[in-house]
Amino acid sequence: MKGNGKTIKKILHYLKPYWFFMLCSVIFAAASSLLALYLPVLTGEAVDLLLGKGKVDMDGIAAIIIKIAILISLSAAGQWIMNACNNHVAYCSVRDIRQSAFEKLQRLPLSYLDSHAAGDTMSRMIADVDSFADGLLMGFTQFFTGLLTIGGTLVLMLMIHKWVALTVIVLTPLSLFVAAFIAKNTSSLFKAQSKTRAVQTGIIDEMTGNIKLVQAFSHEEEAQALFDGNNEELGKISLKAIFFSSLTNPSTRFVNNLIYAMVALFGGKAVIDGLMGVGQLTAFLSYANQYTKPFNEISGVMTELQNSITCAGRVFELIEELPEPEDPAEPEEPECAEGAVSIKNVSFSYDKSRSLLTDLNLEVPAGKRIAIVGPTGCGKTTLINLLMRFYDVDAGSIEVDGKDIRKRSRRSLRAGYGMVLQETWLKPGTIKENISLGKPEATDEEIEEAARRSHAHSFIMQLKDGYDTVIGEDGGQLSQGQKQLICISRIMLSLPPMLILDEATSSIDTRTEMKIQDAFAKMMQGRTSFIVAHRLSTIKEADTILVMKDGNIIEKGRHAELLEQGGFYSKLYRSQYEM
């Protein structure tokens, strides 16, 4: 329960705009449950009029019936309005929470997003928010009405007959004790169950997720044996957990039934002794039924609320993550966008205990082509992350056209770059929308022209609806290479002053690549370009080749110079030609 207070405060903050609906909900809940409570009194009065043959006051009964009819219509209407208000509050506040979570998502530093599984963030924004809404709804609907019903019943019972009422009051906690006792003892079983289930999900995820590989190695029998072993274990634990937790209902019902019997006993005696009427006894009996029910409901609501607060806490964690540092209030934008880049004494690491880039220096005059090569993990992609300001340097500075990039707005900096990454990403939408991502105002002709230059036009035309073909999540039916071609079309259309190509053609076959080489070369003319590539043939033409290893630039120069040096680069290059 610790820390819940803070979360509840935050929840209240989101509920605040809907205070009017909440007020309505409370008023109507009170009205409807109090009216409903009065019903047994009326029924009891009617019963009391049924004295026997020829002694029934039919007019009195008719009057009571009319009262009951009015009562239930009002109570039902109140209940419906309360529900509608609750829906409104719960769903609207949940919408607001999702919206602010999404807005935070747009401002979170890449370091957060890179180090947190996308699945986790998604489940916070979708599943957790959903269970929060469920809990909130249930809480609103049942908690307050439950409390009112308990209180109201108490008062009414005490009014009818003190001693019988006291019997009920004294005995009720018994059922609560029973429920709490069972819950306490089953929670460890549930924990064991979810642990085993997590193992099972892991097995399913691995073995079914890689089913093709399992089959290729005819590993099916082993996989099945592994799964069955865990499945049996889960079955045993689940049986226990389910059985013991399902003891709650029958046990509390048993206690409730006993209370009911006690009321019948003491009430019956009281009637015999002339202390109350038969109608009052029936009213009492139905109160005894009603009185214990909300207790059970409320204990259910409490667990649900607890769960919903935990879920809300997880969403708030996301919402409260530290965002990227704000852009400067008065950004200093360079007067011209030529694309001269200078990297001065830059140090950077993702994990502060292990340094990656140390004291890196590099001057890139405008319009030059820089190729970066080196083994995996040498810091190539990191350099790009820093240039785009996806990450900020730990020390030193990066300047573009003479201005420190931290003094500019991120948007203007990034608008200066055209970026194609190895990991292509297409937005769910049409091909056209995807190509014009960087230039939404582009005409159809411009889009087609860009696609032609990147040799994407021909395959786009083969798709069902050409440029209007809708591509689903993850690019759907397009091959990796085709996706890369579309990404290249994007920058061929927007033509920014600087280019970043990180393995931009890795999935495109070399023949097609050669065909778009010309277009690439033309585009790179006069544009500062940073190229990361595996294929050495694509970088031979660069003005400067940086050879990186373990975060340092170990060689630097033109292709021919580096070959002459006979260092790491020449070794790498020769391995392509020699066996």
Partner 1 sequence: MKRLLKFFRGYRKECVLGPLFKLLEASFELFIPILVRQIIDTGIPTGDTAYVRMRVLLMAALAFTGLVCSLTAQYFSARAAVGFATRVKSAVFSHVQGLSYTEIDRLGVSTLITRLTSDINTLQGGVNMVLRLFLRSPFIVFGAVIMAFTIDVRSAATFAVTVLLLSLVVYGIMLITIPMHKKVQNDLDKVTGSVRANLNGVRVIRAFGLEDKEKEHFGKANALLLKMQILSGRLSALMNPVTYVLINLGLCFLIGQGGSAVNSGRLTQGQVVALINYMSQILVELIKLANLIVQLTRALACAGRISSVLEEESSMNDGEKEYGGNGGAASLRFENVAFRFADSGGDAVSDVSFELNAGETLGIIGGTGSGKSSVANLIPRFYDATSGSVSINGTDVREYRLKSLRDHIAVVPQRSVLFSGSVRDNLKWGKKDATDEELFEALKQAQAYDFIMEKEGGLDYTVAQGGSNFSGGQKQRLAIARALVRQPAILIMDDSTSALDYATDAALRSAIKNMEKRPTTVIVSQRSASIMHADKILVLDAGKPVGLGTHEELLKDCPVYREIYESQFGAEK
User: Which is closer to partner 1, CB of 348 or CB of 391?
Assistant: 391
Q: Which of 219, 344, 403, 455 binds partner 1 (CB under 8 A)?
A: 219
* By the rule CB under 8 A, 170 interacts with partner 1: no
Question: Least distance to partner 1 from the beta carbon of 150, Å?
Answer: 17
Question: Least distance to partner 1 from the beta carbon of 134, Å?
Answer: 12
* By the rule CB under 8 A, 205 interacts with partner 1: yes
Q: Which of 73, 115, 306, 443 binds partner 1 (CB under 8 A)?
A: 73
Question: Least distance to partner 1 from the beta carbon of 114, Å?
Answer: 9
* By the rule CB under 8 A, 63 interacts with partner 1: no
Q: Which of 5, 17, 173, 268 binds partner 1 (CB under 8 A)?
A: 268
Q: Which of 512, 528, 529, 544 binds partner 1 (CB under 8 A)?
A: 512
User: Which is closer to partner 1, CB of 330 or CB of 509?
Assistant: 509
Choices 308-316, 362-370, 373-381, 448-456 (CB under 8 A): range interacting with partner 1: 373-381
User: Which is closer to partner 1, CB of 174 or CB of 271?
Assistant: 271
Instruction: Give the CA-trace dihedral at 81, 86, 89, 92, to 10 degrees.
Output: -100
Residues 6+ apart with CB under 8 A from 101: 124, 125, 129, 315, 318, 319
The rounded distance, in Å, linking the Cα atoms of 294 and 320 is 37
User: Which is closer to partner 1, CB of 348 or CB of 417?
Assistant: 417
Q: Which of 2, 352, 464, 511 binds partner 1 (CB under 8 A)?
A: 511
**Identity of residue 55:** K
The rounded distance, in Å, linking the Cα atoms of 479 and 490 is 17
Q: Which of 12, 239, 322, 461 binds partner 1 (CB under 8 A)?
A: 239
Site for partner 1 in 34-53 (CB under 8 A): 36, 39, 43, 46-47, 49-53
Give the pairing type, strands 544-549 and 369-373.
Answer: parallel
Question: Least distance to partner 1 from the beta carbon of 1, Å?
Answer: 28
Site for partner 1 in 273-302 (CB under 8 A): 278, 281-282, 285-286, 289
Per-residue tokens: 205: 């995820």
Backbone phi, psi, residue 498, to 5°:
-130, 150
* By the rule CB under 8 A, 549 interacts with partner 1: no
DSSP state for residue 156 in the 8-state scheme: H
The SS3 assignment for 342 reads strand
User: Which is closer to partner 1, CB of 218 or CB of 353?
Assistant: 218
* By the rule CB under 8 A, 322 interacts with partner 1: no
Question: Least distance to partner 1 from the beta carbon of 524, Å?
Answer: 18
User: Which is closer to partner 1, CB of 211 or CB of 302?
Assistant: 211
Residues 6+ apart with CB under 8 A from 384: 419, 500, 502, 530, 532
Q: Which of 481, 519, 556, 557 binds partner 1 (CB under 8 A)?
A: 481
* By the rule CB under 8 A, 115 interacts with partner 1: no
Backbone phi, psi, residue 142, to 5°:
-105, -30
The SS3 assignment for 137 reads helix
Nearest to 432 by CA among 463, 467, 475: 467
* By the rule CB under 8 A, 75 interacts with partner 1: yes
User: Which is closer to partner 1, CB of 120 or CB of 363?
Assistant: 120
Neighbouring C-beta atoms of residue 16, cutoff 10 Å: 10
User: Which is closer to partner 1, CB of 8 or CB of 113?
Assistant: 113
Site for partner 1 in 513-542 (CB under 8 A): 513-514, 534-537, 540
Question: Least distance to partner 1 from the beta carbon of 83, Å?
Answer: 3
Choices 9-17, 370-378, 399-407, 450-458 (CB under 8 A): range interacting with partner 1: 370-378
Choices 1-9, 16-24, 264-272, 446-454 (CB under 8 A): range interacting with partner 1: 264-272
Q: DSSP secondary structure string, 191-254?
A: HHHHHHHHHHHHHHHHHHHTHHHHHHTT-HHHHHHHHHHHHHHHHHHHHHHHHHHTTHHHHHHH
Interface size with partner 1, residues (CB under 8 A): 152
* By the rule CB under 8 A, 317 interacts with partner 1: no
Residues 6+ apart with CB under 8 A from 13: none
Give alpha helix (H) positions in 338-473: 380-387, 410-415, 431-435, 444-453, 457-462
* By the rule CB under 8 A, 455 interacts with partner 1: no
User: Which is closer to partner 1, CB of 94 or CB of 340?
Assistant: 94
Binding mask 392-421 for partner 1 (x = CB under 8 A): ------------------xx--xx-x-x-x
**Identity of residue 282:** T
Residue 508 contacts residue 456 (beta carbons within 8 Å): no
Q: Which of 320, 425, 476, 495 binds partner 1 (CB under 8 A)?
A: 425
The rounded distance, in Å, linking the Cα atoms of 368 and 541 is 11
Neighbouring C-beta atoms of residue 400, cutoff 10 Å: 26
* By the rule CB under 8 A, 328 interacts with partner 1: no
Length of the chain: 579
Instruction: Report the greatest alpha carbon distance in the chain.
Output: 123
The rounded distance, in Å, linking the Cα atoms of 5 and 136 is 16
The rounded distance, in Å, linking the Cα atoms of 165 and 169 is 6
Question: Least distance to partner 1 from the beta carbon of 347, Å?
Answer: 23
* By the rule CB under 8 A, 111 interacts with partner 1: no
User: Which is closer to partner 1, CB of 245 or CB of 552?
Assistant: 245
Q: Which of 9, 55, 352, 464 binds partner 1 (CB under 8 A)?
A: 55
Per-residue tokens: 213: 């590989």
